[in-house]
Chain A
Amino acid sequence: MSRIACGAAWGGASLAAAVAPLLLPTWQTQLAFLWVMIVFALTWDVLGGQAGYNSFGNVVFFGVGMYACAVVQRDSGLGYFQGLFAGTACGAALAVVAAAILGAGLLGLRGHYFAIGTLGVGIAAGELAAGWDFIGAGGGMVPPPFPGGLGGRERFFCYLCLSIAALTVALLRWLYAGRFGLALNAIRDDEDKAEAMGLYTTRYKITAWCVAAFLLGLTGGVFGNLAGFIDPREVAFAGSTFGVWMVLMAILGGKGTLLGPIIGAVIFHVTKELFWTYLLGWQRVALGLLVVLIVVFFPTGILGWARARWPERFA
């Protein structure tokens, strides 16, 4: 696609995203969730699609950010917006620390060991959180209420989530354009070769995970406030929902690209709402089935399929 067409498409999409909450006020919370989904998919893809390291535990950073923000809001004595700001910053920082520590241990391993190693991380975090009284144990935490009218709350969070999603897109786009993106791709294509060419692969992997953790930590803090309630297993470290969706969305849209996870997130969000409405009870079963179908029949995702079908358009 020509650069002008590309730029126009992004510009148009950004405009639509910015204006949507004003035009569709009843959908604002839905839109907020959509932006969160996009962040989920894009951050999974940094390590999963670009570097070839599937993580099943990214939800840990989301939860860490959520709890850290809530604790700051509870204990710092700051006003609502200052508390929220400080809290999300704190959450993001803590999430990065978690990624650095976990990564130092796990990212020295090859891809499939890393994948299995991250399988239980989210659940373990959930269990530990459910037993820690400082953060409310099993009862969870409740962030402070939003000061302001009902309509204002939805709009605020919608735009806040949109900002984070936009930040994610911009940050990743910048990262992938540089040598760092090339290094990640080299690790994905042939890690042994990359090492044989002098690249300290573990450093790049850890950095990539820290970037993902930063964005997820930010999102977690905001989401906790949006949801209004933080439960250790269902909201913060929700492995069987958010954790699975992260993987699914990126693969559905086409991993290893910037656009793929976004497309995957949009389609998934819509599909998920349909599942939840019409397949109530069976929605999680359907999701599991969807993962299998996509991985087996559609591993390159929608973008990969489009690329194969119309190679000239999607070089």
Chain B
Amino acid sequence: MGARQVAGALRVNAILEVRGVRKSFGGVAANRDIDLTIPRGGIYGLIGPNGSGKTTLFNSIVGHHPIDAGSIRFAGREISSLRVPQIARLGLLRTFQQTRTYVRMTCLQNLLISIPPAELGWKSWFRESPAADRLKAAEILDFVGLSPARDARAGELSFGQQKLLELAMALMSEPAMLLLDEPTAGVNPTLINELLERLRRINAERGITLFVIEHNMPVIMGLAEYIYCLAHGELLAQGRPEEIQTDPRVLDAYLGAR
């Protein structure tokens, strides 16, 4: 297939399309003319030195703030004017850089409240979580390896365990796509591989598209099939990991003048 046709196929199968997105904060342009496309079922990476606008882009995508210009389409639908809960209900979830869970609730409760709300009629809010939900929660806790901590309060978990819990909560909500903000930051090197395995599995087994911000180069190069690189708020380079790794502009941006 020619490049054009490949690109066309990509677009048809795209789950996230960002076009010409621009966002400034008080005169400082955090994102400028960002164009990216993420196909359904892919694992894509987003890298760039500190301050290049990666988290801002994530925040724009999930509706945390409105964008100044451009369009963001999720599963073919324009979401740039929607609010955070609305976008989450469409199946686009994100995890936070500083892991966020419901600290005073137990792990099980954290999962039970993460059931996709769109599925529930208003009456079900006044009933206890049914056995099916509890079963699903137990299954997911098992998947992330947190079964023994089922009744522990989220706030009492170790940092690594909280990260797993956040992932479990996202899984519970059955997203179509998950934006992961530095999932391995602060995680014990011996546990990183386990985490990556789980991410690969949820992508392969559950078909969840992953878009991952990472600073850890070996991790992202090994995980992602395609990588976008930001620098100074603009898209600097994009390509497969091998291409990015040898791209002089990328090397420059990371090691360059500071």
Query: A residues near B, CB below 8 A?
Result: 174-175, 177-180, 182-183, 185-186, 188-190, 192-201, 256
Contact = CB atoms under 8 A, between A and B. Distances in A.
B239 interface: no
B126 A178 contact: yes
A190 B100 contact: yes
A178 B101 contact: no
Contacts of A174: 126
Interface string B79-97: 0000111001100011010
Contacts of A256: 104
Given A179-B128, A180-B126, A189-B103, 14 more contacts: A178-B126, A179-B112, A182-B109, A182-B129, A185-B102, A185-B104, A185-B113, A194-B102, A196-B96, A197-B113, A197-B173, A199-B113, A199-B117, A201-B85
Contact of A182 (B100, B103, B105): B105
5 contacts: A178-B125, A189-B101, A197-B169, A198-B117, A198-B118
Given A178-B125, A182-B109, A196-B93, A190 B88 contact: no
A256 B105 CA distance: 11
A197 B126 contact: no
A192 B127 CA distance: 24
Main DSSP-derived SS at the A contact region: helix
Interface core residue of A186, A188, A197 (most chain B CB under 10 Å): A197
B84 A195 contact: yes
A189 B88 CA distance: 19
A199 B120 CA distance: 11
Interface in B194-235: none
By size class, the interface of chain B is 20 to 34
A177 to B, nearest CB: 5
A178 B128 contact: yes
Nearest to B109: A182
Nearest to B126: A178
Contact of A190 (B101, B109, B117, B128): B101
Contacts of B84: 195-196
Contact of A195 (B88, B109, B116): B88
Given A183-B113, A185-B104, A195 B126 contact: no
Contact of B94 (A177, A180, A188, A196): A196
B114 interface: yes
B62 interface: yes
Interface in B153-189: 169, 173
Contacts of B173: 197-198
B246 interface: no
B114 A179 contact: no
B94 A182 contact: no
A194 B103 CA distance: 12
B113 A179 contact: yes
B109 A185 contact: yes
A188 B96 CA distance: 18
Contacts of A201: 85
Nearest to A203: B122
A198 B120 CA distance: 12
Nearest to A198: B88
Given A180-B125, A185-B104, A192-B100, A198 B116 contact: yes
Contact of B126 (A175, A185, A186, A198): A175
Interface string B32-73: 000000000000000000000000000000100000000000
